[in-house]
Amino acid sequence: MKVLVAIKRVVDYNVKVRVKADNSGVDLANVKMSMNPFCEIAVEEAVRLKEKGVATEIVVVSIGPTTAQEQLRTALALGADRAILVESAEELTSLAVAKLLKAVVDKEQPQLVILGKQAIDSDNNQTGQMLAALSGYAQGTFASKVEVSGDSVNVTREIDAGAQTVSLKLPAIVTTDLRLNEPRYASLPNIMKAKKKPLEVLTPDALGVSTSSTNKTLKVEAPAARSAGIKVKSVAELVEKLKNEAKVI
C-alpha cells in the first residue's frame, strides 16, 4: 500500500527562540532549522512499514517555503521514495495545511497518512485531526504502536490515563507520539542517493485550495520571567524556607 507522510520544517528543538522587539513574532533569521521531531518519527514508521513489506511506496509531502526542500531531501535519504513540496511563503494555519494535504491525498490516494502529533513551533496539535475530518477518514492520534492487518490498522494511543488501542478502517490517518519509534540517521550514501529521487513542486493555486484564515496573530510576547531564585545549603534550610518563606508545605 501507499503511505503518505507529512513533514514540517521548524526551528531546531534545541534552539531557545527569542521574541522580536516589535512583538511581530519570534526571530527565525539565522536560526538552525530542522525536520519537526514528531515528523521524523512519522517518516521512520513509514520506512519500517516498508521494510516489513506492508508499505510499497512512501510519498513524503511538506507545505512551506522553498527551503523546506532540505527537509524533504532528508526524508528521502531516510527511505522515502519521492517527495512533494506545496510551496507557500506565508505562514499557514493548521486548517489551511489540512486542506492542502487533503488535495494531495485526493491526488495520491494513499491507504495510510502519517503525521507528527504536533509541530514544536506552533504547538497546535490540529493538522492530523483536521485532515481526517476533511477526508472523512478515521484517526489514530498520539500513536505509540501501529499494526496494519488486512483492511484495518490497530493503533495504540497515548492517553492521559495510560494507553488505549483502537481499530481503524483503512484508509486512515495516524499521528505519532514520541514513543512510537527511535528515528534512524541518514547515511552519507543515502543522502547522495536522495538527491536523485523525484521532488515535485506544487502551489496552493494549482491544487485549487484557498489558504485564507479566520485566525489572526495580533502580537507575540516573551513569557513573564521568573524572579531569580536562591541556592540553599542543606535540606534543613530548604525545608525551613518552604515552610516559613514560601509557605507551600
Partner 1 sequence: MTILVLAEHENGAIAPATLNTVAAATKIGGDIHVLVAGQNVGAVGEAAAKIAGVAKVLVADNAAYAHQLPENVAPLLAELACGYSHVLAAATSNGKNILPRVAAQLDVDQISEIISVESADTFKRPIYAGNAIATVQSSAAIKVITVRATGFDAGAAEGGSAAIEVVSAAHDAGKSSFVNEELAKSDRPELTAAKIVVSGGRGMQNGDNFKHLYALADKLGAAVGASRAAVDAGFVPNDMQVGQTGKIVAPQLYIAVGISGAIQHLAGMKDSKVIVAINKDEEAPIFQVADYGLVADLFEAIPELEKLV
C-alpha 81 chain-centroid distance = 19
Residues 129 to 148: which contact partner 1 by CB under 8 A? 129-134, 136-139, 141-142, 144
Which one among 1, 33, 103, 166 touches partner 1, defined by CB under 8 A?
166
**Which residues within the stretch 2-61 sit at the binding site for partner 1 (CB under 8 A)?**
11, 13-14, 16-17, 19, 26
CB of 190 to partner 1, least distance (A): 26
Contact set for partner 1, span 84-113 (CB under 8 A): 93-95, 98
Nearer to partner 1, 82 or 241 (CB): 241
Give residues with Cβ within 8 angstroms of 10, minimum separation 6: 33, 34, 35, 36, 119, 120, 121
Task: Write down the least CB distance from residue 152 to partner 1, Å.
Answer: 9
State the DSSP code for 245. I
For 191-210, letters b (16+ CB in 10 Å) and e give: eeebeebebeebebeebebe
Helix (H) or strand (E) holding 74: helix 69-78
Please state the closest distance from residue 236 (CB atom) to partner 1, in A.
6
Nearer to partner 1, 61 or 131 (CB): 131
- Nearest Cα residue to 105 out of 6, 18, 26: 6
Which of 117, 143, 183, 204 touches partner 1 (CB under 8 A)?
117
Binds partner 1 (CB under 8 A): choice among 52, 66, 67, 159: 159
Answer for which of 31, 201, 206, 222 binds partner 1 (CB under 8 A) is 222
CA 57, CA 32: separation in Å to the nearest integer? 30
